[in-house]
Structure 1
Amino acid sequence: MAHTVYPQSYYAASANPVPPRPELNGEVETDVCIIGAGYTGLSTALFLLESGFKVSVLEAAKVGFGASGRNGGQIVNSYSRDIDVIERTVEPKQAQLLGQMAFEGGRIIRERIAKYNIQCDLKDGGVFAAVTDKQMGHLEAQKKLWERYGHTQLELMDAKRIREVVATDSYIGGMLDMSGGHIHPLNLALGEAAAVESLGGVIYEQSPAIRIERGANPVVHTPQGRIKAKFVVVAGNAYLGNLIPELAAKSMPCGTQVITTEPLSDELAKSLLPQDYCIEDCNYLLDYYRLSGDKRLIFGGGVVYGARDPADIEAIIRPNLLKTFPQLKDVKIDYAWTGNFLLTLSRLPQVGRLGDNIYYSQGCSGHGVTYTHLAGKVLAEALRGQAERFDAFAGLPHYPFPGGQLFRVPFTAMGAWYYSLRDKLGF
């Protein structure tokens, strides 16, 4: 079988060394079989192993091959739809639980990094940048909302203050979250995988799940083997394919693009982002950027609905980079890549259980770095019989995309065009 390798990204080129991992051959028995060695799967595996479970992880390609190893590397709190939307959607007790969990994922990441000595260039501080007065008003309301849930590491910034943290005239203000920050996302995944193995977990690479035999003791089949388990956790997200058709109907893979410059001089890097914070703007189709550990600018944005790989990623993203930082017009782009995330119609995570023993979490909708780490804890709690927090997520309503799989791409793209136009016109 042909081996799937990492895309030609900056993250893959600068990844920490890792040991070779086996393919699954033959039959294995375990307590929990996890499908997917991205953040959701690895976080779940770690929490389960720390609780005494026997865990095996199946990965179709390599650890962190999907969104976990390709994303913007930003630690951003809450969910793709914020707590105020959840408060309008569900009962107060459920909303309270989900609100309390909205800031937990970032804490879990930092705990993992410290506990397992993961080398992934962790930096503190993330900025939400406002382009319009309306967006600034939203940030003011967001600060009050988050503070109501006990999250207080926030600072509103006017035009002068934001200019002190990012060297562009693009923004009228913003909000700094010091519990936000950024990491090398693939190295975080690789460090978590090493932690899983240090606790006795086994990760099989190049071992895609092709069929789940449901029943009292489900069996997950791969091309060369199978795993019999007491529980299965499905953590494949945008790279799951049609393994579970009832989940595929309520989600859609989407691509986001990232480019990385050549290394910048210390002076230039410091002039762009003096405090080394990461930045994302408040547009519907947002731009996000930060400095890498070796002083490159990593700049991402754009959405391709249906997860096609664009022919020229640099042509899509570089104009936005130069609009933000025209001083980089002569800087070379060393890497450009695309990565898929999984979108739900509500843009809230899709969490639940199939039968008594198959659990799933997916659909982070572009807001997955922190949520996936929380999801691992919540899934592990549910397998231990503590399901209150799991049920809070599982109770979120989810709907199929209008038009089914045939028309979900054009319908969603039309909606995104509408919101993008609103951003440009400032209403």
Structure 2
Amino acid sequence: MSQNTTSPTNPGHANTWYAFSADDKRVRETLRGEHDADVCIIGAGFTGISAALQLAETGFKVIVLEGDRIGFGASGRNGGQIVNGYSRDLETIAKRYGQDKANALGKMSLEGGAIIRERVAKYGIQCDLVDGGFFAAFTDKQIREMAHVKAHWEKHGHTGLEMVSKADVGKYVKADRYAGGMIDRLGGHIQPLNLVLGEAAAVESLGGNIFENSRVIDLTMGANPIVKTAEGQVTAKYVLVCGNAYLGSMLPKITDKMMPVSSQVMATEPLDKALIEELLPANYCVEDANYVLDYYRRTSDNRLLYGGGIGYGGQDPANLTGVIRPNMLKTFPQLKDAKIDFAWSGNFALTLTRIPHMGRLADNVYFSHGDSGHGVTTTHLLGKILGEAVNGHASRFDVWSTLTAYPFPGGKTFRVPLTVLGAWWYGMRDKLGI
């Protein structure tokens, strides 16, 4: 079983099931020498590649610089779930930022999933796209909260939600743990590394260039910003910073308002087809309603992919399966003898508000990060919005960039223990059902 080691079949990636099953294992060349572009994008994850594709489709000359491999970070390691909306519900957004901002974000809240489906169809991307998601509730309190969120979300046009009684949970997951839940017919799941690789190939088909193993070491602002790597540089009219949790410390104005957080994932050996279909009969992805939640789904080769756990500051437990496997067995005791073939972790960028942070470092240098655990759909939306802003249509970007972001209390020294304390409190509330 692998545990956060390097993939033997896909060099430069963590040894995940995604790297193992990736369709495109080509290593792109490293940036060398001097280059020019209309737009230079830092980071080849979902945000950067989504922006690159939006720009390439409208005729911009794009260069993407990736410090490791395409999809190396959270974009190629996440649970592979298409979860609509944001990490905070629209009612919370309205209370915090005002109803006008909530209405604007509500209009965009389903767009990320739509962008994914549109691009999969347009470019023939093979990423195991399956429709349907199920939110599982442990308590009556969580069911009431889901019903409240459903009613509020429907005011913003989401018509794909349906409450599920305890008697009907078995249509979606054969587990005795849940008191009911809610389905989202506009949710779904994908092989995320194949998705971002397919989108990257689409960028290249339109004339864009993507350089791997080309970590940015300096960004010089100006009328034509210069982005430098160890062996080359790009002079551009615009720069988009899309490094998220893997950006490093080069741009503290961005990184001081985010915290890397790790989540752990594992994949079983291929299971008997009849068994996996019995456990998840509708082939929906599942996530539960706890503060520190579990999430799981079927894969195309009949594995159970199960994730959960959290490590503030990007810290990983010594034994990944020791964290996740007990929860998997609480859900599916039938799998007590199932072998775990892969176990890995990946970092996502968390903001204090749990709302993505967008803005400008200069008139021609934009950034987006901090999707806070809802990145598969949100990154696609915000990448597209970055592309729109460069193309002179910044109205949607301006909505996001005016949402105030704050540094974590305690700074880098105390942000982790203070956040852990808060997570402990909400975790206790989940356990006590209050």
- Give the TM interval when normalised to the shorter protein: over 0.9
Aligned counterparts of 1:62 and 1:140: Cα–Cα separation in 2 = 41
What pairs up with 1:286-297 in 2 under 5 angstroms? 286-297=293-304
1:269 paired to 2:302: no
What pairs up with 1:210-249 in 2 under 5 angstroms? 210-249=217-256
Look up the match of 1:94: 101
Query: Which residue of 27, 33, 37 maps to 1:20?
Result: 27
Which stretch shifts more, 185-194 or 90-99? 90-99
Query: Which residue of 179, 191, 212 maps to 2:186?
Result: 179
Aligned counterparts of 1:398 and 1:301: Cα–Cα separation in 2 = 26
Query: Which residue of 153, 159, 166 maps to 1:152?
Result: 159
Look up the match of 1:368: 375
Aligned counterparts of 2:45 and 2:384: Cα–Cα separation in 1 = 14
Q: Give per-residue Cα distances to partners, 1:208-246, cap 9 Å, x unaligned.
A: 011100111110110101100000000000000112111
Aligned counterparts of 2:400 and 2:154: Cα–Cα separation in 1 = 22
Look up the match of 2:415: 408
Contact 1:287 1:302 in 2 (8 A): yes
Aligned counterparts of 1:180 and 1:219: Cα–Cα separation in 2 = 40
Aligned counterparts of 2:98 and 2:353: Cα–Cα separation in 1 = 17
TM-score normalized by structure 1? 0.98
1:162 paired to 2:169: yes
1:80 paired to 2:82: no
Contact 2:87 2:354 in 1 (8 A): yes
Contact 1:67 1:341 in 2 (8 A): yes
Query: Which residue of 333, 350, 353 maps to 1:343?
Result: 350
Q: Give per-residue Cα distances to partners, 1:39-92, cap 9 Å, x unaligned.
A: 000000000011111100000000000000000000000000111111111233
Query: Which residue of 128, 131, 135 maps to 1:128?
Result: 135
Deviation of the 1:299 alpha carbon: 0.2
Deviation of the 1:308 alpha carbon: 2.0
Deviation of the 1:387 alpha carbon: 1.2
1:392 paired to 2:373: no
Code of the aligned partner of 2:177: S
Change (3 A) 1:328 1:4: closer
Aligned counterparts of 2:320 and 2:127: Cα–Cα separation in 1 = 25
The DSSP-based 3-state class of the residue aligned with 2:235 is strand
Contact 2:27 2:69 in 1 (8 A): no
Look up the match of 1:332: 339
Contact 1:124 1:182 in 2 (8 A): yes
Look up the match of 2:110: 103
Code of the aligned partner of 2:128: D
Contact 2:65 2:210 in 1 (8 A): yes
Look up the match of 1:307: 314
Deviation of the 1:20 alpha carbon: 3.1
The DSSP-based 3-state class of the residue aligned with 1:128 is strand
Query: Which residue of 10, 14, 32 maps to 1:7?
Result: 14
Code of the aligned partner of 2:251: I
Q: Give per-residue Cα distances to partners, 1:247-277, cap 9 Å, x unaligned.
A: 1111100100001000011110111000100
Aligned counterparts of 1:37 and 1:354: Cα–Cα separation in 2 = 20
Q: Give per-residue Cα distances to partners, 1:159-213, cap 9 Å, x unaligned.
A: 0111221000111011100110000010001101100100000000000011100
Look up the match of 1:279: 286
Aligned counterparts of 1:93 and 1:82: Cα–Cα separation in 2 = 15
Code of the aligned partner of 2:378: Y
Give the gaps of 5 or more residues in structure 2: 1-9
Aligned counterparts of 2:254 and 2:87: Cα–Cα separation in 1 = 19
Deviation of the 1:4 alpha carbon: 6.9
Aligned counterparts of 1:296 and 1:269: Cα–Cα separation in 2 = 7
Look up the match of 1:419: 426
Aligned counterparts of 1:185 and 1:4: Cα–Cα separation in 2 = 18
Code of the aligned partner of 2:114: R
Aligned counterparts of 2:56 and 2:243: Cα–Cα separation in 1 = 20
Deviation of the 1:19 alpha carbon: 3.1
Which stretch shifts more, 364-373 or 386-395? 386-395
Code of the aligned partner of 1:67: A
Contact 1:4 1:61 in 2 (8 A): no
CA RMSD of aligned residues (A): 1.2
Code of the aligned partner of 1:305: Y
Contact 2:24 2:194 in 1 (8 A): no
Would you say how many aligned residue pairs link Structure 1 and Structure 2? 426
The DSSP-based 3-state class of the residue aligned with 2:36 is strand
Q: Percent identity?
A: 58
TM-score normalized by structure 2? 0.97
What pairs up with 1:192-211 in 2 under 5 angstroms? 192-211=199-218
The DSSP-based 3-state class of the residue aligned with 2:216 is coil
Q: Give per-residue Cα distances to partners, 1:78-111, cap 9 Å, x unaligned.
A: 0001111111112332221111101100000000
Q: Give per-residue Cα distances to partners, 1:361-392, cap 9 Å, x unaligned.
A: 10011110000000111111111111111111
Aligned counterparts of 1:76 and 1:187: Cα–Cα separation in 2 = 18
The DSSP-based 3-state class of the residue aligned with 1:210 is strand
Aligned counterparts of 2:169 and 2:367: Cα–Cα separation in 1 = 40
Which stretch shifts more, 303-312 or 269-278? 303-312
Look up the match of 2:260: 253
Deviation of the 1:310 alpha carbon: 2.4
Aligned counterparts of 1:140 and 1:128: Cα–Cα separation in 2 = 11
